[in-house]
Structure 1
Amino acid sequence: MYEVSNQVVEQGFDKFQLQKLVKTPNYEILNISLEKGEVFPEHTSPKHAHLVVLEGEVIFHINGENHNLREQQYFNFPKEEKHWVEAVVNSKFLVVR
């Protein structure tokens, strides 16, 4: 019924890592970690999405714009827009879509 997980804290910084924390018919939560200088390659999201930086700093590239995001900042973006993410320092963030 209830579940406590340490997946987020246990996911290390080894290049680019992605884990699905939750997947339901209505939404999913992705836990992503990027080692400093690594890139989450260009892709699109099938749904409107929300990114929450847990730790570190990333640059979110979308539509020719760069958005610097730091710990505890939130960013939302539309579905089907090409984007990519670069880690300024070791970083972890959640994507909810």
Structure 2
Amino acid sequence: MYKIDIDNSIAQQPFHDLQVAVVVKNPTMEILSISLARDSLFPKHISPKDAHLIVLEGSINFYIENQIINLTTQQHFSFSKEVEHWVEALDDSKFLIIR
């Protein structure tokens, strides 16, 4: 019988400033769960790989290449590796980074 493990860490991740949790990490993929309290920032950084961002809750502004992209619940955005970007939470927000 196949063993099934259910993980509730995303649902339990608190809204306190910036919280980053690794959900999955293997040689070919990484999934990060990010929670940002309202008015908190995920500071400027770059991704080592092309990435996908999926908003689970809330509303964020994603700043990249002199653009502001507003994303809300259940929206998806892709961005290229090695491009500086940062995120501002407009509400208590959770999103996944898949790379």
Q: State the TM-score bracket (shorter-chain normalisation).
A: over 0.9
Unaligned runs of 5+ in 1: none
Give runs of ≥4 in structure 1 deviating > 3 Å.
none
Q: Distance in 1 between matches of 2:97 and 2:19?
A: 13
Q: What amino acid is aligned across from residue 51 of structure 2 in structure 1?
A: A
> Residue 5 of structure 2 aligns to a residue in which SS?
coil
Shift of 1:2: 2.5
With the length of structure 2 as denominator, give the TM-score of the two structures: 0.96
Alignment match of 1:41 (pick from 35, 43, 63): 43
Shift of 1:3: 1.6
Residues 1:92 and 2:87 are matched in the alignment:
no
Q: CA RMSD in A?
A: 0.6
With the length of structure 1 as denominator, give the TM-score of the two structures: 0.98
Unaligned runs of 5+ in 2: none
Please give the per-residue CA displacement for 1:56-93, whole angstroms capped at 9, x wherever unaligned. Answer: 00000000000000000000000000000000000000
Aligned residues: 97
Question: Computing the radius of gyration over CA atoms, which structure comes out larger, 1 or 2?
Answer: 2
